[in-house]
Structure 1
Amino acid sequence: MAAISTRNSLRTMISGRNFLAIIFCLFSYGFCLETDTINAGVVLNDSATIVSSSEIFTLGFFSPNGSTRRYLGIWYTVTKDTVAWVANRDRPLNDSSGTFSISADGNLVIMNGNQEIIWSSNVTSNSTSGRNTTAQLLGTGNLVLRDVTGSGTLWESHRYPTNTFLPAMRIFHNTRTGQRVSLNSWRSPQDPDYGNFSSGLFAVGIPQIYIWNNGRPIWRSGPWNGRVLTGVTRMYSVYVDGFSVATEEDGTVVFTRAFRQQALMTNYLNTEGVLVEAAWDNQKRKWNPTWQAPIDDCDFYNKCGPFGLCYSNNRPKCSCLTGYEPKNKEEWDSGNWSGGCVKRKPLQCDRDNNATDKHKVDKFVKITLVKVPDFIQWSTGIETECEGLCLGNCSCRAYAYEQGIGCMFWSGSLIDIQKFSRDAGSDFFVRVAYSEHDEKKDKKVIIISCVVATLVAISFCLLLSWWWMSRRRGRSVTLEYEGGEVGQLNSSEIRLHNAMDKVNVEELPLYSFEMVENATNNFDVANKLGMGGFGPVFKGKLENGKEIAVKRLSTESGQGLEEFMNEVVVISKLQHRNLVRLLGCCVEKDEKMLVYEYMQNRSLDVFLFDGSNNILDWRKRFNIIEGIGRGLLYLHRDSRLRIIHRDMKPSNILLDEDWNPKISDFGMARIFGGNQNQANTRRVVGTYGYMAPEYVMGGRFSEKSDVFSFGILVLEIVSGRKNTSFYSDELSLGFLGYSWKLWNEENVLDLIDQRIFSSSSLAEIMRCIHIGLLCVQEIPVNRPSMSTVLSMLSSEIFDLPVPEHPGFMDMWNGSHFKTAESANKVTITVLEGR
């Protein structure tokens, strides 16, 4: 009966939503047809619209801002200003007398007040007529003309895009016929006619995306390696970003994107020739740009000329590749880099046969994080073969290797080379004469010798100064370790237990105690944000107005210098939008403090479990789930280090002002080696209720340990219940056991937090519960990896496997384990593996 009641409630909610959608159309756009389809005999006049079944897209007549001309277009329902497709872009209507319908010959047509056809789908078929064709606006924004007698799709708007790349749209290039479907910019914001800029796929060789200005390239994405476009920053994987490239049997290479269902996204080419990606912010009712290209001077095609390298962080931005020099020194020094660079010394093949150094073999200089040059030649092969293949070809000037592509080679001029600081590019190897390499080595030796001598002299002077200052002040700054060892604090490094193991923190500022004390108003209790296993956390404000959060090691804390150092080691080397940023640390006056960016919305547990009036709606919760997943994927697979967090829980998930989640507290984290998948520990650390069974019972941890904790988090976020405080007296079940019971009884609706329950998001919530249960399966190998989890969340993987028995299904019993909690009663736990 409860299930029947729930279904009836859902039907009522859905019908109510459709009624509201109709009212919305009537008041916003005039008359809204109660359908997404146009049949023979139906005429759409200037004031009428139709809306797709997803309610994301609307079709009708519009005028661009500042114009009185009328066009038929498709726009995002949330805002009429965002037009995604225009039919009569080069033949506007001058008044509101236009109509849209299916003509007698079965075509879609726009007619003016004089019944003249100004635009037509222009399908030529002897078998079609107005009686057997129908048009439908799909949920992807695609207007499709079909033959209802069985001939299938006759015409679709996705084959004729304007300036916007819509979900499920196919941007393609047929290398045999030369046919290409690409985006074309508007002429101006007031005129959707064909502009100067276009963007599309160029698939001769390795597929790349270009932006052209009247056919001349102005930006290039770098080659597709099967996962990402290597020259595009902040592109992670097919699963995360949704982009894919496929080759069909007729030679057509297709570029598509499966947009994430939970976010309203748009990609468009603006009137200035810039590709923009934006996400809809429903609270602020506006589009927020998330990426664009080109974004700076180095993004522009061939900015530094042949054999020139562009790097935005350098001054000047352009430099010549190793072994090359400016072609025209005066022009180069004046900032005109278009002439590029030329070779300084001849390569082996270019040297005269009588030259004494003819036998000297050329060398290769490696440059990291490079958008490789245009005009790529390639061959399949393993990485170790590339250098030999290039060296054996006199015309080969450089090579690179990308998994998914193979060996890439360049002959002739090296055009459009850009260096990145992170998150993109490939290792690039430039061929130089042997003498260039030897010269560089000699220079290195001289420079290193001078630097070492200078550093020795400076160190000696600093040592004398320190000794004098210590005597004068009558004290010195020391750190006492848990083993009793005492070490001096140096301004550029912090020593660990092993004197040989040092952490260089030159990139991590050392804050003085006075600065932190002033920022927190002498650690005023009014600025106290909370208490963690490390100690109290205070809010502070620096003199420049920047807000910070300060974690101060408590003398009563169960954690100590080891966790402090571990956090400095780990998080100082990481940078990701879903990881909290460590700004610096303070080690002075026997104090150990970590300084973080301040998170305005505190931690996730405050809004899930503390009865806050600020309820997290489902959209925020889903974005938080996905953000945590992205952060864990970065830790496990994409960062310079390979990190297992080991203490994932809601209080360690911080929320910024836009409710973006950031993983924090890396005191328990462990770094894995490149080929290491699992490790053992004699000291089990973490938080009661979030640790995987194999970790608690045997001390074994791996990426799947974090996946288990992530599964618990997902179930907590969906249910609004804290797993460690949940207990069913009637069933003697803990949180996981209760969730598993509801799943098997197909009564999982009882698990959902009623504050977020709605018919529109029910399918997505149920999918998250399914994923959560997959993550908490007892056997680690059965749990999905974080990359697979993200693919499941974005519905890249649509059919999910059936979850098996979770770990710790029965009620947790603390008496099974020897636990040692910190003195301040926080949730940090130490378990001895048995």
Structure 2
Amino acid sequence: MKQFQSLPDGNNLVSEDESFEMGFFSPGNNSNRYLGIWYKGIPVRTVVWVANRENPVRDNSSKFSINSEARLVILSHNETLVWAANSTTKRQVVSPIVQLLNSGNLVLREEKDSNSENYLWQSFDYPCDTFLPGMKIGWNLKTGLNRQLSAWKNWDDPSKGDLTWGVVLGTTPELVMWKGTTEYYRSGPWNGERFSGKTTSLFQLEFVSTNDELFYTYNLNKDSSLITRVVLNESAYSRQRYNWIPENQTWRLYSSVPRDYCDNYNLCGAYGNCLVNESPPCECLTGFKPKLSRQWEALDWTEGCIQSEEWKCREKNRDGFQRFSGLKMPDTTKSWASGNLTLDDCRVKCWQNCSCAAYANLDIRGEGSGCQIWFGDLMDLRVASVPGQDLYVRMHTSSTGSSNKTNSSEESSKRGQRKKLVVAIPVSFLLVLMIVLTFIYLYWRKRKLREKIENISQERGDEARENKFELPFFEFDTIVRATNNFSSDKRLGQGGFGPVYMANSSQREILDWPRRFNIIFGIARGLLYLHQDSRLRIIHRDLKTSNILLDNELNPKISDFGIARMFAENQIEANTKMIAGTYGYMAPEYAIDGRFSIKSDIFSFGIILLEVVSGRKNTGVFYPNQGFNLLGHAWRLWKEGTPMKLVDACLGDAFTVSEVLRCIHIGLLCVQLHPEDRPNMSSVILMLNSENNTLPQPKEPGFLIERMSINEAGKTSSDENKINSSTNEITDTLLEAR
């Protein structure tokens, strides 16, 4: 182990395996000096711990050493104390030394204990914003030490910010994130395998509860060489996990919480269940109704839900329990737990207490064990992102269809099992028969629907040929005047059916922010109609700014449906070998694999939204010094916490900052790499309309232009599909039968 007794500014200490390095540094544009620990072998300096985060040194003449009381201290050039480590040891220390371990843990111990874990002090007990493998988040119950993370104030200032994350003591402790003193996110209680709201297969998670300690920790799976860290991000108000990718020499975001707006604490109020893929996301549990209907209909769910019919405590056959599966368990602040009771015992105990609202197993391993009981309103419910556990909620028997009776004797239990077996066999047979018949029906219906769509297309083609469409007719002289004798100055663009002209094609200066926001909202409503409200779902496939026309009142109109596709009612996505569209607007899964869906249109909408905000086009690399197109530039600014630098300079200061920031945020949500991460259009409109809901943090976008190369044959290096495209935003459309 490398060790020292005094370390002046300019000298660094390196761990034995050279994984970590410690020394004085200045973060970002800050000239102050801090003592920190960072990764040794990673070229991008990534600081994982700071000693004097609240007490910076003003020059580079300070030093880090061990004082006469065997405490770690930072002294300025005139020997003034700048920082001192907390110390709880009361024994006499003969020869203290400092070591930086391969785990990134800075430890103080006696030289004779150099091969043991008998530390006098360790940095892992005083974490900053980073959670490394082997660290503990939680409590030392003997000393009262609370290990919790706190974010840096900003990229240049490592002092404590508003965002903190740690373990809350209670009957069933949970991991909780706070904004200041306000609870912002909670993990759900530990259920023996994981916290009820999250899981992972890459790491070994462990929650330890003894008389001396209560903490959460994680380690890498055996033989893993992964470099990973968890960090609190003040600018994004999230807890993020990053993995180091050696091939790209970059940190890649692996996960982030809150993951979505359902992760925001108690979004739907008491007894309100949050479903992230629904719009609106909040609904009352079965057997409950909105407490204030008008507020609920106005998308204000803070008052939550109440019972549709009040339970009658302890009255025979008047109240029982309804089972809900797959939920994140409610807030455990008002709960009680016992590891010795069975689930049946738990039910009886809850039913006998008129204040008990719900019960569940404490531990889900095996067949389940232990008992947890909730009192008062159930708060912060949501559908779990991983298989959740069963929660039994108290309500009137008219809602549950069950009573409060339980079989207490072994014989009654056996009788019940025999009855279940007698019923299960014929039910299973009928279920298989129903599945077979359902598949036959769905196949027949699909054939009929395809024939119907083909007939509709044929009929509409016949009507077009017979001039039965009620389209406006213009005299040739009118068109000549409107296009200034077909001048190229009036041309918007050119597609497979010829050039397009319109009168508002070059009036960027008159597009103030209210008009731009109106255009964004109008495009969103148009897409919602195509994706959801139209009789047949329509995927545009070539959505871009040059296909958005503005009328005399600057209202947007989506145009050029030459390569659009119609979906059947139950169709989600389709594949094509003939890829048509415009690079810079095509979603990665469409450009590479030929898969398109409503989510590929939403990717294009996200690009358009960023273009409207910035006044720049995404196509072409216009940040040559940085190698970014518009999307890459926007993502870099977002990660740096300066997204407002993206705003078009033509707007000056005449815009609403929160509204513009929300639009940038939504745009980045729409262009995320994986289609399932992107919102649908109903969610986009809800986010555009609302200033109150906290939006989920965006993941890395699909940098299509940067990551794809096109050869002379028009094929990508990663795919052999034929691609009809152009870099000048002219769509090459191939006419083919639909």
- TM (norm. structure 2) is 0.53
Q: 1:187 to 1:547 in 2, by over 3 A?
A: same
| Structure 2 residue corresponding to 1:390, chosen from 350, 363, 388 | 350
Distance 1:38 1:116 in 2: 21
Contact 1:371/1:425, CA 8 A, preserved across alignment: yes
- Partner SS for 1:348: coil
Are 1:231 and 2:197 counterparts?
yes
| Structure 2 residue corresponding to 1:68, chosen from 26, 31, 36 | 31
Matches within 5 A, 1:274-673: 274-349=238-313, 359-375=316-332, 376-379=335-338, 380-401=340-361, 402-404=363-365, 406-420=370-384, 422-437=385-400, 518-519=577-578, 544-547=590-593
Shift in Å at residue 64 of structure 1? 1.2
Shift in Å at residue 295 of structure 1? 1.9
CA deviation profile, 1:693-742 (whole Å, cap 9, x unmatched): xxxxxxxxxxxxxxxxxxxxxxxxxxxxxxxxxxxxxxxxxxxxxxxxxx
Distance 1:106 1:114 in 2: 20
Are 1:197 and 2:163 counterparts?
yes
Distance 2:192 2:54 in 1: 37
CA deviation profile, 1:377-416 (whole Å, cap 9, x unmatched): 2233334544444333322212222425523221201111
Q: What is the Cα-based RMSD across aligned positions, in Å?
A: 3.9
Distance 2:211 2:442 in 1: 71
Equivalent residue, structure 2, for 1:181 = 147
Distance 1:465 1:246 in 2: 57
Shift in Å at residue 438 of structure 1? 5.7
Question: Given residue 210 of structure 2, which amino acid in structure 1 is its aligned partner?
Answer: E
- Partner SS for 2:138: strand
Distance 1:127 1:510 in 2: 70
Distance 1:543 1:410 in 2: 45
Matches within 5 A, 1:96-245: 96-123=60-87, 128=92, 132-148=95-111, 152-174=118-140, 179-232=145-198, 234-236=199-201, 240-245=202-207
Distance 1:464 1:193 in 2: 61
Equivalent residue, structure 2, for 1:732 = none
Question: Given residue 392 of structure 1, which amino acid in structure 2 is its aligned partner?
Answer: Q
Matches within 5 A, 1:37-76: 37-39=3-5, 43-76=6-39
Shift in Å at residue 332 of structure 1? 1.8
Q: 1:164 to 1:544 in 2, by over 3 A?
A: closer
Distance 1:462 1:55 in 2: 66
| Structure 1 residue corresponding to 2:220, chosen from 254, 259, 271 | 259
Distance 1:127 1:461 in 2: 80
- Partner SS for 1:331: helix
CA deviation profile, 1:90-131 (whole Å, cap 9, x unmatched): 1001121121122233322211122211012253767656x7
- Partner SS for 1:332: helix
Shift in Å at residue 465 of structure 1? 9.2
Distance 2:256 2:150 in 1: 16
CA deviation profile, 1:154-174 (whole Å, cap 9, x unmatched): 111111111111222122225
Distance 1:214 1:543 in 2: 40
Question: Given residue 254 of structure 1, which amino acid in structure 2 is its aligned partner?
Answer: F
Contact 2:153/2:160, CA 8 A, preserved across alignment: yes
Contact 1:134/1:146, CA 8 A, preserved across alignment: yes
Q: 1:110 to 1:328 in 2, by over 3 A?
A: same
Shift in Å at residue 277 of structure 1? 1.0
Distance 1:264 1:395 in 2: 48
Question: Given residue 360 of structure 1, which amino acid in structure 2 is its aligned partner?
Answer: N
Question: Given residue 370 of structure 1, which amino acid in structure 2 is its aligned partner?
Answer: L
- Partner SS for 1:423: coil
Number of aligned residues: 429
Q: 1:381 to 1:111 in 2, by over 3 A?
A: same
Q: 1:468 to 1:289 in 2, by over 3 A?
A: closer
Q: 1:99 to 1:348 in 2, by over 3 A?
A: same
- Partner SS for 1:298: helix
Distance 2:387 2:101 in 1: 35
Question: Higher relative CO (CA 8 A, sep ≥ 6), structure 1 or 2?
Answer: 2
Contact 1:198/1:273, CA 8 A, preserved across alignment: no
CA deviation profile, 1:515-552 (whole Å, cap 9, x unmatched): 76x5599xxxxxxxxxxxxxxxxxxx999435169xxx
Equivalent residue, structure 2, for 1:632 = none
Contact 1:144/1:153, CA 8 A, preserved across alignment: yes
Distance 1:144 1:242 in 2: 24
Question: Given residue 200 of structure 2, which amino acid in structure 1 is its aligned partner?
Answer: M
- Partner SS for 1:242: strand
Stretches of structure 2 that go unaligned for 5 or more consecutive residues are 403-433, 456-568, 581-586, 596-672, 675-738
Equivalent residue, structure 2, for 1:827 = none
Distance 2:89 2:142 in 1: 26
Distance 2:263 2:255 in 1: 13
- Partner SS for 1:435: helix
Distance 2:164 2:252 in 1: 23
Contact 2:197/2:386, CA 8 A, preserved across alignment: no
- Detail structure 1 runs of 4+ shifted over 6 Å in the superposition: 458-465, 467-470, 506-511
Equivalent residue, structure 2, for 1:84 = 48
Shift in Å at residue 52 of structure 1? 0.7
Distance 1:74 1:543 in 2: 40
Question: Given residue 205 of structure 2, which amino acid in structure 1 is its aligned partner?
Answer: F
Q: 1:95 to 1:392 in 2, by over 3 A?
A: same
Contact 2:227/2:244, CA 8 A, preserved across alignment: yes
- Partner SS for 2:220: coil
Q: 1:308 to 1:52 in 2, by over 3 A?
A: same
CA deviation profile, 1:302-356 (whole Å, cap 9, x unmatched): 1111111111111111111222222222222222211112222110218xxxxxx
Contact 1:519/1:543, CA 8 A, preserved across alignment: no
Question: Given residue 364 of structure 2, which amino acid in structure 1 is its aligned partner?
Answer: Q
Shift in Å at residue 290 of structure 1? 1.0
Shift in Å at residue 257 of structure 1? 1.5
Contact 1:165/1:183, CA 8 A, preserved across alignment: yes
Question: Given residue 340 of structure 1, which amino acid in structure 2 is its aligned partner?
Answer: G
Equivalent residue, structure 2, for 1:247 = 209
Distance 1:46 1:162 in 2: 21
Distance 2:282 2:252 in 1: 32
CA deviation profile, 1:748-783 (whole Å, cap 9, x unmatched): xxxxxxxxxxxxxxxxxxxxxxxxxxxxxxxxxxxx
Contact 1:69/1:92, CA 8 A, preserved across alignment: yes
Q: 1:389 to 1:467 in 2, by over 3 A?
A: closer
Distance 1:543 1:277 in 2: 25
Stretches of structure 1 that go unaligned for 5 or more consecutive residues are 1-34, 351-357, 440-451, 474-505, 522-540, 550-656, 659-834
Q: 1:403 to 1:126 in 2, by over 3 A?
A: closer
CA deviation profile, 1:22-47 (whole Å, cap 9, x unmatched): xxxxxxxxxxxxx73113xxx32222
Question: Given residue 120 of structure 2, which amino acid in structure 1 is its aligned partner?
Answer: L
